[in-house]
Structure 1
């Protein structure tokens, strides 16, 4: 599949909202909004992200279809990557391709990433893109309703 990134369009938001409300994907991601079904909170979050100079967010396309989002946020020296790929596309290399594309757009290093410690797929994507484990922590995961282990990874070089 041809994977590309582009600016987020208003028409992408219903797709992102649907993806965030997939209970299997939410469980895997773990660190989701408290109530992913709260459309007003979702819209406010995306409005804030798209308006912020500290956030670079893109729509992920596969063969022209919207399949997710990828972004970088935070202050210099503390910037963190995030991505979400529709579960129907898991296991096809799209997250890796999207993250590689995002890393080409974001020259600042270091970059950080976080994942639930049991999210082997996301950890594998990050490692394929050069991120290395730097710490383990515990944090409250709203999608699971409890505190869980998470890993922090860092990418130090371009």
Structure 2
């Protein structure tokens, strides 16, 4: 499968909105928007993201929009995030996309967070060189409760 990143286009946003409303994906991601079905809030959030200094990319697999990946935050505290359509889980898409993003953004250190029970996302991060550095708890809107999360670091 050919996985590439490109700039986010307006036409990608309806696809992202649909992907980010998949109940199983929401549960796995855990730390999501308070109300993922609120399209106005989604659009506002993406306007802010696209106007910021975040490096935000659309993930394409064999030419199809399958998700997004980004590096955001303050220098020295920047984090990576990604979202891949559930139909593509377990096929190496997230790993390939994150590797491409890390090649595009050489800044280090970078950080990531994941629900402690999200073994797929943790595996992707570890394949890309991230290592667990801490554990925390936080409120996960998609689950409606406090859950454990891992904090990972990709050193310089």
Structure-1 separation of matches of 2:130 and 2:113 = 10
What are structure 1's unaligned runs of at least 5 residues? none
Aligned residue for 2:59? 60
Distance 2:90 2:128 in 1: 16
- 2:4 match: 4
Find the counterpart in structure 2 of residue 26 from structure 1. Answer: 26
Specify the alignment match of 1:17 in structure 2.
17
| Aligned counterpart, 1:134 | 133
CA distance in 2, matches of 1:141, 1:62: 29
User: Counterpart of 1:108 in 2: which secondary structure?
Assistant: coil
In the TM superposition, what is the alpha-carbon distance from 1:15 to its structure 2 partner? 0.3
SS in 2 for 1:151: strand
Structure 1 segments of 4+ aligned residues over 3 angstroms from their partners: none
Tell me the TM-score normalized by structure 1: 0.98
* Residue in structure 1 matched with residue 90 of structure 2 by the alignment: 91
Distance in 1 separating the partners of 2:121 and 2:64 = 21
Displacement after TM superposition at 1:107 (Å): 1.1
Alignment root-mean-square deviation, CA = 0.4
In structure 2, what is the Cα distance between the partners aligned to 1:148 and 1:123?
15
Instruction: State the aligned residue count.
Output: 156
1 CA distance for matches of 2:106 and 2:73? 14
Task: Give the TM-score taking structure 2 as reference length.
Answer: 0.99
Shift of 1:134: 0.4
Alpha-carbon separation, structure 1, partners of 2:137 and 2:104: 30
